[in-house]
Copies of this chain bind each other. A is one copy, B any other.
Amino acid sequence: MNLDLVSSSRCFDGTQRVYSHKSETLKCDMRFAVYLPPAAVTHSVPAVFWLSGLTCTEQNFITKAGAQRAASALGIAIIAPDTSPRGADVPNDDAYDFGQGAGFYVDATQEPWSKNYRMYSYIVDELRELVASQFAVDAKRFGISGHSMGGHGALTIGLRNPSLFRTISAFSPISAPTQCPWGEKALTGYLGDDRAQWAKFDATQLFAEKGWSGPEILVDQGEADEFLESQLKPDLLVEAAARGDVELRLRRRAGYDHSYFFISTFIASHLEHHARHLLA
């Protein structure tokens, strides 16, 4: 297995590492971060995949969320991939919300994006299998979470793969990418104009039409989030959950914005949610 260690630091008695590998799915070199709690020294532990938002790399979550404290105490691993294919050979765009740093967790069908921009398959198949085979994690106990674009990724990937990801949570997710500027731009660019192709990458449509029989889905949303009304639209998620009989717990947090100061405040609560079900 072609896995290069980029960095390794002890953190809360566990180990925070970053690896690089050649991705078959994305046709480029990719980095991802792995936090292994001390419990992973003696046995396989559950893992939560964290999907980051626009402009992020694998670094943002591991340096800013302070998640290692709770992960160490609970005995769960955290897998934090990059947010898009990368490199000089990978098509890009000058905008912050399209191209590199903005993979949107879809499998692109449009040129020139379709060769590399397959973050959905990368997370669901390649990275998940690679992590399961290379680290002391138990592939039967994986959960998924994320922020903003990554919250959208966590909800859609989780909903579509209940046997692979047993628990789902999100911070400030783009709840309905088919109905907001960030999502419409990305889905048009990666998937084309036929909106029928967009449905399987929209959490509200999956909530309403596919449902979810797993544990309650936990979502935190700051009420002072600058993108709340224009891009995130959690009300649409609540409506869709009701229609699809999805057990959704949306916590509206007064005063909190879209930043990692918000995520750091509630990440322990999310990891406890995942651990409660994954360790049961």
Give chain A's interface secondary structure class: mixed
**Which positions 4-19 of chain A face chain B at CB distance < 8 Å?**
9-13, 16
- Residue A64 CB within 8 A of the other chain: yes
Identify A264's interface contact among B66, B222, B224, B262, CB under 8 A: B66
Question: In the complex, A21 Cα to B72 Cα: how many Å?
Answer: 40
- Residue A257 CB within 8 A of the other chain: yes
- Residue A261 CB within 8 A of the other chain: yes
* Least distance between A10 CB and chain B CB atoms (Å): 4
B66 to A10, Cβ gap below 8 A? no
Identify A262's interface contact among B11, B66, B253, B255, CB under 8 A: B11
- Residue A265 CB within 8 A of the other chain: yes
Q: How many residues of A contact B (CB 8 A)?
A: 23
- Residue A197 CB within 8 A of the other chain: no
Closest to A10 in B: B255
Closest to A268 in B: B69
**Which positions 51-91 of chain A face chain B at CB distance < 8 Å?**
63-64, 66, 68-69
Interfacial chain B residues near A222, Cβ < 8 Å = 10
Interfacial chain B residues near A63, Cβ < 8 Å = 63-64, 260
Closest to A16 in B: B261
- Residue A259 CB within 8 A of the other chain: yes
B12 to A265, Cβ gap below 8 A? yes
A68 to B11, Cβ gap below 8 A? no
Question: In the complex, A13 Cα to B11 Cα: how many Å?
Answer: 25
- Residue A227 CB within 8 A of the other chain: no
B261 to A68, Cβ gap below 8 A? yes
Interfacial chain B residues near A69, Cβ < 8 Å = 66, 69, 264-265
- Residue A113 CB within 8 A of the other chain: no
B257 to A10, Cβ gap below 8 A? yes
**Which positions 166-207 of chain A face chain B at CB distance < 8 Å?**
none
Interfacial chain B residues near A253, Cβ < 8 Å = 10
Question: In the complex, A66 Cα to B62 Cα: how many Å?
Answer: 11
A interface residue numbers (CB < 8 A to B): 9-13, 16, 63-64, 66, 68-69, 222, 224, 253, 255-257, 259-262, 264-265
